[in-house]
Every structure is written in C-alpha cells, then in structure tokens.
Amino acid sequence: MTYQTVIYQKTAGIAEIHFNRPERLNAVTQVLYDELNAALNQAEADNDARVIILTGQGRAFCVGADLKEHKEGRTAFDRRQYLQGQQIVCKRLMTLSKPVVAAVNGYALGAGAEIAMACDFIMMSESAQIGLPEVSIGNFLGGGVTWLLPRLVGLAKARELVFLGERIPGKEAVRIGLANRCFSDDTFLDEARAFAGQVAGKAPFSMALAKRHLTLAAETTLDAAMIAELEGMMFVGTTKDWQEGVDAFAQKRAPVFKGE
C-alpha cells in the first residue's frame, strides 16, 4: 500500500511503521490515524512480520494532536470521529496478535505518549521525553491510558504524571517502569531493532497467547487465568513450533520457529 503520513517497511521479520510528518513533529491527524491502523492491519496479515516497531521520522516520535486540524467549522461529530480514531488505534495496538515496540526517538507527548504506552515495549533514546500534558491544558486523556498507566507505574505515580503533566526523560521512564530500555542517541534505532529482533525469534503462537493474557489479566480471576493457561498450553502443544522447541532444546541449538 501507498501511505501519505506513515512509512511502512519490513526487514528480517520486523515490520517498521514510521510516522512521517516530520515538518509537524509527527503530530496526529485523522489521516494519520487511518493510515496507522491500515499499516497495523498490513503487518498483522503478513506472516513474515513477527514483531512491529513504531517510530517517528525527524526530531519527534509524535507530539500529539495537530492543533491546525482543530480549526473552526468542525462539527461535534467530526471532533468525536477524530478522537475515536485514537481510541481505535490504541486498542488495536494492545489487542494486536503481534508484539509492538515503540521506539521513542524524540518527543512523545499527549496522544503520542498514549500511543507509545499502548505498545508492548517502550524503547527511548537518551534525549527523548515522554509526557501527558492534557490536564495542564484543559484537555483529557485518551487511548485507554487511565486504565493502562496505573498498571505500568502504580496509581500514585500515574496521578503524578497525569496531574503535573511533566515530561519524563528516557532514563527516568525506565526507572519508574514506564519504559523498558534507554539507549544512546547515536545507536538508538539499531539497538531498538536488535531488541525487536530478539522478540521476533520467539514462537509466534506462544507470543500471541502471552500478549493477550497479560494484557487482559486485570479483567479476569485467578481461576479463569489458570484455565486459559491450560488451554493455551494444550493448544501450542499441537503446533510444529512446539516440537521444534523441544527438539532444539534436546539438540542444544537455537530453535527456528515458523509459526506453524
């Protein structure tokens, strides 16, 4: 597919989606939401893409809403459709069957931070900053962040991040459990790709099950989780990848999973 606001590329089992509005610091528009959702669908449908990286062209990951889009003449319906676009994208990221790595290369603010938080992993460059300024400017949060953020950093820290709206640098984001890794600016994208490559080498069916049940863990009971785990173990035991894992362990070699 041809996109206007994102770049889609694939290398060695990794689908990369780059926000491509660097002249606006990758601020989001309705078109960007629509194209991002389409690119995610493309990546999920591609059996050769085992993991997805989201990142931004230029100096920013994504600085949130493009305020030029919020001009006179937009109806309440238009605004709701735009806001719902973010909800759809963030839920898609959380429920996608493949793991998603947010490679935060610069500012990730507002909707940009919420998109990053909806991913399975957050990698940040040393100079990157992430923050939620919505309450500070009379706006409100979206993308499921009121549900997700307390699970990532705890309720007390979530309140602090939301109420104060401060920008958090990469090392601090790792320290509080918001991000997974922080890398040097010079090697950032290579390091993020290396991390994604490690994830891409795991068994696809097992990863999809693990992602689903970890994401939804807060909505279930212990008994229900254990039943789901039992069914999951029984299912993966019927796959060729399960046998490959057993054989590789016995032969003391790295497994080669094919998603079969």
pLDDT in tens, 174-191: 999 999 999 999 999 999
Q: Which amino acid is at 165?
A: G
219 catalytic? Reply is no
The whole-angstrom separation of Cα 102 and Cα 53 is 6
Average of per-residue pLDDT across 230-254? 94
Cβ-Cβ contacts under 8 Å for 140 (sequence gap 6 or more) = 134
Determine which one of 23, 114, 244, 260 is catalytic.
114
Quick: pLDDT tens for 197-215. 999 999 999 999 999 999 9
- At 48, phi and psi to the nearest 5? -80, -15
pLDDT number for residue 73: 67
Query: Regarding the domain with residue range 6-200, which homologous superfamily does it belong to in the CATH classification?
Result: 2-enoyl-CoA Hydratase; Chain A, domain 1 (3.90.226.10)
- For 5, 61, 138, 192, the CA distances from 14, given in Å and listed in that order, are 20, 18, 38, 11
- Per-residue model confidence as pLDDT tens digits over 44-86: 999 999 999 999 999 999 999 887 776 666 788 888 888 888 9
Catalytic one of 134, 172, 229, 244: 134
pTM: 0.94
What is the DSSP secondary structure assignment for residue 102, as one 8-state letter? Answer: E
- Residue 22 pLDDT level (bands cut at 50, 70, 90): very high
Angle at 202 (CA atoms; ends 199, 203), nearest 5 degrees = 140
Give the pLDDT of residue 28: 94
Beta strands in 20-134 (DSSP E): 51-56, 60-62, 100-104, 107-109, 121-125, 129-131
- The tokens of 61 are what? 């990951």
Is 114 a catalytic site residue?
yes
